A and B are shown apart, each in its own frame.
Chain A
Amino acid sequence: MNLLIKGARPYGEDAADILVRDGRIAAVGEDLTATGAEVVQAAGLVALPGLVDLHTHLREPGREDAETVETGSRAAALGGYTAVHAMANTDPVADTAGVVEQVWRLGQEAGLVDVVPVGAVTVGLAGERLAELGAMADSAARVRVFSDDGHCVADPALMRRALEYVKALGGVVAQHAEEPRLTAGAQMHEGDRSARLGLTGWPAAAEEAIIARDVLLAGHVGARLHVCHVSTAGSVELLRWAKSRGVQVTAEVTPHHLLLTDACAEGYDPVFKVNPPLRTDADVEALRAGLADGTIDAVATDHAPHAVEDKETEWASARPGMLGLEQALSVVVATMVETGRLDWRGVADRMSVRPAAIGRLDGHGRPLAPGEPANLLLLDPAARSVVDPAALASRSRNSPYAGRELPGRVVATFLRGAATVLDGKATK
């Protein structure tokens, strides 16, 4: 089946038609025609390569009441994603070839995005001994990213071994950087607000200490390291230093850490409880700067659906995490594009090209050019809308952006030439 996208602006640049044939981009140019092709009118819309998320919690298996591979895939497609990495902290934990293959297969069945399972680093996320990383890498799921996300691989010796071991698999360890001894009982960023609100503080140093340790380890053993959800100005500085020293480290930042601060905790509404916690204005500024200059490689959602009862509760009993897939691009437009820090090629780089490279994903993060897989999205950059959690495709409602007006609307998403989203609605 052929597809002709008329008048879109690739990377927000000059308008062009995009012809898609057999799942690949056949031509990009002016006044293209194709008999029998389905025509999508895209005048004024920005065309970008399909987004790639390095950090998604799909909750299946285990918490299908909060999200499933299918509902999460739909949310991802609506957000402009064509590939998402599904985190390993499911129940059972994705620490065997069997579980990662199950998740991978569920993603294939849903058919809305490529669901790429992340494998656990340690058995049961317990941080004690390595999971069978090779078996997961060799499985149908072809796991390349390994993470105990939700937990830090805190044991330095174990972390060193993990970094070394995945070198043979072309893999990368994605570290949830949180020194657990410094964050026992932690509820929010440790600072003026935590002092006043009486919520146990999560010090920036607990993240930075692990990043500092891990970049030294990664440099020492010559392995790739990826740092999940960087949240502090100090972390950005450490990453900048490590990169300047040639350490193979990459890092991601979440949309919420680019936009929100610990001021959100004031009303004790746990929809704003997340790990790592929302930080200060100065941290937000440093994260935006780090993303702009490439110190931070990628935006990753840390999309974390939670059932209502896990959020409509006391702050301390609520589970940390917030939705992100459907608003990620809008938040990046608001915080990076409208502020002039990134152009559309920059957005494509941080949300598609680099995350695909970090995850060693073939067929994603490719340029909008003839011969490439037709994974792309069309965005109306002028549209603005107020986020209504009830209207989200995710099975959960814990969006921190509820009631907030955000720019940009994903009009269409194509996965290998097939529309997964058209006119802002999922096709299945």
Chain B
Amino acid sequence: MQYRRSRSDHSFNDPSSEAGKEAILARSSEPALGASSAPGTTTLLTAADVTRVVDRMAHQLIERAESTREGDQTGGLADLVLIGIPTRGAPLARRLAARIEAFSGTPVDVGTVDITLYRDDLRRRGVRALEPTTLPEAGIDDSVVVLVDDVLFSGRSVRAALDALRDVGRPRAVRLAVLVDRGHRELPIRADYVGKNVPTSRSQSVKVHLTEVDGADEVLLADHGAGQGDRA
């Protein structure tokens, strides 16, 4: 059945599906560390690296936030809403919010927006199970939304997320934060906050593992021939 295959059957070297990150889902029950010892796989970020990168991004978000309302004592953080793109963008957004609060003392609104119903590749990829969409109770009107995702590749997921946001409210501005930018954009989209830039070839895949989803934190770079994930 298509929806069951969809998570693992697309090609890792096809950026239009933002593949490589979702593909891991299908094996999320396996010990994540096992993958790092596989041949042709190198570790881009260790668990400690992930923590450090997230901390740095949190600092950057605090620094670049701007007050636009009189009387705002939070340096603009009160207007910030972190919206994660499922699957791994969602826990990433929560982590960033937690670190921002830890560093600044200001709680930040968090949400998720599922982009499945906004994708432009349904005909090619088959249907997928939907992920939750949760928005702050106050909504996102006039806030500064930061979309959070794990890997930025073609930019099509971000495009879909922007479309989804348009239907749920009218933020004052939308920014983009990603843990890894691996290049190969197909749309005029760039990230405002990048944890790590990684030059890759299209035949490689970037796998982000997060404790909340995969049981451990790490980012891997895998070479792919016609191996796994290429059944599409």
- In the complex they form, do A and B come into direct contact, defined as C-beta atoms under 8 angstroms apart? no
